[in-house]
Amino acid sequence: MMIMIMYICIYFVPLLIKYKYTILEKIKNKLPSNIISNKIA
């Protein structure tokens, strides 16, 4: 059971990170860039 959970984490966590960044990029493209730069700074 633990091995299955480990495999799920190993395979799905990188996918989640990748999709999270693609979603963030889509949101950034929709928003004005100056708002994003203010939030980062």
How does pLDDT run across 1-41, given as a tens digit for each residue? 788 888 888 888 888 888 888 888 887 787 766 665 666 65
- In terms of C-beta distances under 8 Å and separation of at least 24 residues, what long-range contacts does 20-23 make, across chains too? none
pLDDT of residue 1: 72
pLDDT of residue 9: 80
Nearby residues of 27 by Cβ (< 8 Å), 6 or more positions away: none
pLDDT of residue 37: 62
pLDDT of residue 41: 54
